[in-house]
Amino acid sequence: MSGVHPLPAARPGDPVGRIATPALVIDLDAMERNLQRMAAFARERGLRLRPHAKMHKSAHIARLQMAAGAVGVCVQKLSEAQALAAGGVDNIFISNELVDEAKLTELAQLARQIRLAVCVDSGLGVDRLAAAVRRAGCVVDVLVEIDVGQGRCGVPATAAGALAHQVVSHAPASDGPGQGGLRFAGLQAYHGRAQHLRSAAERAQAIHHAVTLARTAQATITSGGIACPLVTGAGTGSFVHEAASGVYGELQAGSYLFMDRDYADNQATPDAPVFEHALFVKSQVMSRGQSHAVVDAGHKAHAVDSGLPRVWGRALAYANGGDEHGLLSVVVTPSGAEPPLLEGLPGLGDTVWLVPGHCDPTVNLHDHYIALRGGLQHGVVEAVWPVDARGCLR
């Protein structure tokens, strides 16, 4: 069977019951409400929205987000940018660092076709990027990343000015065509760890610290006579705080669109828009014991790095049954569960909807989205979308 691409689990027009399992299913109505809520949030505050597409890896969804007002999307990898650009996305920010010369040459080629931005956090990265861009005769927007508490990429806030200066030293010689160079576009100040701090107060405190560092970094840049046009960052767990800071001009949240179980476990941020679960793994009971049921979706169908899925709408716990199996057992219904949960074990052949623990790596396990209109009970498949950047890890 080598070379045979797996067929999608359903076709447009199929009723929900006909979607083969396990399948990655989008509740389109819920996704569109999430899309509009975040677009409205940014618009009402005069902020740019650049959702993170590393989450959905879909050119179609990126285009929907841009049609609703996003300036473009973020990705984390060059190959993700290439996949989305091939699908018609023309404004992409690689919110990550690259130092490999072969990749930088490819990046510069891509920048000849679309508006492209990238992060830097080293002098070597700036010099290699500048050389590649000059060879290609194109312009790339460059953001200096600062470490605002994650302890991952990024220079200390106090070092931002020196790196920005180095970027500016590689500006195009003139505005004329074919003039390659780097355009300093501002700062990336993203605090990943803050997103999953459970209490709203802890997240607020972490972002308060990030904002202070972003201000410091801005000052080291502007005091050297360089304008700092933008601070970009924020994720689904914290964007309300970056938005209120007066420092960030662009929000990069991604997971809000699908809302995984891990984000739903966060204590809600006061005044934040409410996002609904819109991404599910449809599974089926394939075996039944006295006190457990077995579904056909194990950790090859959903990621487990942020914990196991939640069983949607039923008083059931999901335990890991291996690569291809999930074990369901009855749990006591939490009092006041909303909507009310279905009690008891499902029967053989029953459908069980799983809310993945973490949407990004779950999506990367699937070739297609099955986009469902009309809800999980009675919906009809409206479209099948490829996960364009699946496996794009380079």
Ligand X SMILES: Cc1ncc(COP(=O)(O)O)c(C=O)c1O
* Distance in Å, CB of 254 to ligand X, minimum: 3
SS3 call for 219 = helix
C-alpha pair distances (Å), 99 with each of 102, 106, 130? 9, 12, 11
Among residues 202, 286, 212, the alpha carbon closest in space to that of 242 is found at 212
Between 69 and 192, name the residue whose CB sits nearer to ligand X.
Answer: 192
**362 is a contact residue toward ligand X (CB under 6 A):** no
**Residue 379 binding ligand X, by CB under 6 A:** no
Sole binder of ligand X in the list 30, 187, 253, 354 (CB under 6 A): 253
Lookup: tokens for 44: 């009402």
Mask 318-357, x = binds ligand X (CB under 6 A)?
Answer: ----------------------------------------
Site string for ligand X, 85-124 (x = CB under 6 A): ----------x-----------------------------
* 34 interacts with ligand X by CB under 6 A: no
Q: ω into residue 22 within 30 of 0, thus cis? A: yes
Alpha helices by DSSP H, 236-348: 239-244, 261-264
Which of 3-11, 173-181, 249-257, 294-302 is the region at the interface with ligand X (rule: CB under 6 A)? 249-257
Q: Binding ligand X by CB under 6 A: which of 69, 137, 192, 307?
A: 192
Q: Are 293 and 351 in contact (CB under 8 A)?
A: no
Q: Where are the alpha helices (DSSP H) in 68-122?
A: 78-86, 101-111
Q: Are 49 and 93 in contact (CB under 8 A)?
A: no
Q: How far is the CB of 202 from ligand X (least distance, A)?
A: 16
CA-based torsion, 127, 163, 141, 187: positive or negative:
positive
Q: Is residue 225 classed as helix, strand or coil in its secondary structure?
A: coil
Applying CB under 6 A, does 283 fall inside the site for ligand X? no
Q: Which stretch binds ligand X (CB under 6 A): 246-254, 270-278, 285-293, 378-386?
A: 246-254
Closest CB to ligand X among residues 75, 381: 75
Q: CB atoms < 10 A from the CB of 68, how many?
A: 17
Query: Please, what is the minimum distance in Å from the beta carbon of residue 253 to ligand X?
Result: 4
Q: Contact region for ligand X (CB under 6 A) — 127-135, 165-173, 248-256, 298-306? A: 248-256
- Angle between helix 28-44 and 59-67 (nearest 10): 40
Cβ proximity of 264 and 21 under 8 Å: no
Angstrom distance (rounded) from CA 388 to CA 390: 6
Provide, rounded to whole angstroms, the least separation between the CB of residue 11 and ligand X. Answer: 30
| Closest separation in Å from C-beta 34 to ligand X | 11
Answer for which of 34, 82, 166, 195 binds ligand X (CB under 6 A) is: 195
**Does residue number 58 form part of the binding site for ligand X (CB under 6 A)?**
no
Q: Report, in Å, the least distance between residue 108 CB and ligand X.
A: 22
Q: Which of 34, 218, 236, 362 binds ligand X (CB under 6 A)?
A: 236
CB of residue 192 to ligand X, shortest distance in Å: 5
Nearer to ligand X, 21 or 195 (CB): 195
Alpha-carbon torsion angle 184, 231, 227, 149, nearest 10: -90
Residues 37-56 that bind ligand X (CB under 6 A): 52, 55
Which of the stretches 32-40, 189-197, 321-329, 378-386 binds ligand X when contact is defined by CB under 6 A?
189-197
From the CB of 355, what's the least distance to ligand X, in Å?
A: 15
Beta-carbon contacts of 215 under 8 Å, excluding residues fewer than 6 positions away, are 247
Chain centroid offset of residue 34 CA: 14
Question: Smallest distance, Å, CB 260 to ligand X?
Answer: 9
* 279: β partners: 26
- Contact map string, positions 61 to 80, toward ligand X, x by CB under 6 A: -------------x------
* Among candidate residues 45, 36, 9, the one with its CA nearest the CA of residue 250: 45
Assess contact for 171 and 181: CB atoms under 8 A. Answer: yes
Candidate residues 65, 166, 252, 284; the one interacting with ligand X per rule CB under 6 A: 252
Any alpha helices (H) in 121-238, and if so which ranges? 123-136, 160-168, 200-222
235 binds ligand X (CB under 6 A): yes
Tell whether the torsion through CA atoms of 106, 131, 227 and 204 is positive or negative: positive
By the criterion CB under 6 A, which residues form the site for ligand X? 52, 55, 74, 95, 190, 192, 195, 235-236, 252-255
